Amino acid sequence: MFKKILVANRGEIALRVIRAAREMGIASVAVHSTADSDAMHVRMADESVCVGPPSSTQSYLSIPAIIAAAEITGAEAIHPGYGFLSENANFVQVVQDHGLTFIGPTAEHIRVMGDKITAKDTMKKLGVPCVPGSAGGVATLEDAKALGKEMGYPVIIKATAGGGGKGMKVAQSAKEMEQAFQTARAEGKSNFGNDEVYIEKYLTTPRHIEIQVFGDGKGRAVHLGERDCSLQRRHQKVFEEAPGPAISAEERARIGKVCADAMADINYIGAGTIEFLYENGEFYFIEMNTRLQVEHPVTEAIFGVDLVREQIRVASGLDMSFVQEDLHINGHSIEVRINAEKLPNFTPCPGRITQYHAPGGLGVRMDSALYDGYSIPPFYDSLIGKLIVHGRDRPEALARLNRALGELIVDGVDTTVPLFHQLLQEEAIHTGDYNIHWLEHWLETRFGDA
């Protein structure tokens, strides 16, 4: 087992990894920019190293600085959290070249799944169901129009290197294809340095269902059920729950086995999430995230496992501490993402926290790096906390979420907490009758084009 690990991230996810390491008796090293000198993850770690100025490209994304921090502190392994360098295959290779262990998948698996076309081809060969679409990249507008006609509209054009909702455009008709095609290419080039796009059939009322998988890199893998992440705004998740309210036990077992078998076949190591669109009883693969997800706590809640602890274990060479037969769902869990944003436009709202009080009680977990007097810097993602609740069933989880939101105090900045208070008054939320378009339609009805 490792004696010391470096956490190449910030905020609540850095704290999450530091806490798991401490429980395992492992020392932790925090890295930080000059803007994060007073951040909670820096205070909580056993050691800390400043890796650069506020800009993430010069600090948290600086591979030489991260490696140097690991070497000068004697860290044996690096946990990337999510975002930043977590899905950078080059970073994984550099980590290994310097005699360190990357706590996550191999560089090859990250590379394969990071390209949407290669990922889809790989999953097809592994028996995972995929959305109908182009066989590869689509180079010209003429080819795009031909595919649109062949598949039938609407279609969605996606940047092959895309993610986070960037480089994705829907064409409802042949008339809309040119603008959607050119815009998706331009966004792919500007955000990812790659203007290649592919085209898929656009499902009209799907849910976003993702399967949590975990492998030991030795040909063994399991699934830990699904999460429903259908409540999204501009392809960004807002509200996640497990198990999915629309998924039956039979469907869960079927798609879960397909995913676990696929990961076992490729000797996948660590945590990963296979994302699907689900419509009319069918699952359609869209992408795989080769890392821990923001919403992993809901899976931990219903299965009673620590996914970060397990990541560290298998990266050190140990076997997984559970097999598929050990994993049984207990109750229902919901997570809401608390962002420092001003409604209704979701404008980032950095600033000083004048008062912070986390909710508590049975079945309530608050993952946050906030504290009284903390100044949220303007340089990074606006996520400031995740409120996770667990109950015996979905109604109890919803009631517990309502109670916990009422206890949460974040003064000094605007947050998205009022959004969840309003959502919990909607019948569709209580019945679970929603899809990936529901939230945006709801927001339009109340706030216009926010």
The token duo for 322 is: 């559970």
The residue among 216, 203, 200 whose CA lies nearest residue 133 is 200
Give the bridge partners for 215, in sequence order: 221, 270
291 is catalytic: yes
Structure tokens at 40: 């909670």
Instruction: Tell me whether residue 42 is exposed, middle or buried, using C-beta atoms within 10 angstroms of its C-beta: 0 to 12, 13 to 18, 19 or more.
Output: buried
Q: Which residue is associated with the tokens 């006609």?
A: 149
37 φ, ψ (degrees, to nearest 5): -55, -35
Any idea which residue has 């995913």 for tokens?
259
* 4 close to 21: Cβ distance less than 8 angstroms: no
From residue 362, give the alpha-carbon distance in Å to each of 59, 392, 401: 39, 11, 11
Three-state secondary structure along 347-365?
Answer: EECCEECCEEECCCCCCEE
Helix (H, G, I), strand (E, B) or coil at 230: strand
Q: Contact 381/237 with Cβ under 8 angstroms?
A: no
What whole-number distance in Å separates Cα of residue 364 and Cα of residue 358? Answer: 10
Strand order in the sheet with 27-33: 47-52, 27-33, 4-7, 77-79, 101-102
**Hunting for tokens 């996606």 — which residue is that?**
158
Whole-angstrom Cα distance, residue 302 to residue 101? 30
- Angstrom CA distances, 329 to 161, 212, 283, 390, stand at 34, 13, 21, 12
Q: Active-site residue among 10, 16, 227, 291?
A: 291
The residue whose two tokens read 């790096």 is: 369
DSSP character string of 258-287: HHHHHHHHTT-EEEEEEEEEEETTEEEEEE
| Residue 318: partners with Cβ closer than 8 Å, 6 or more residues away | 1
Cis bond before residue 154 (omega within 30° of 0): yes
**Catalytic residue numbers, as ranges:** 291
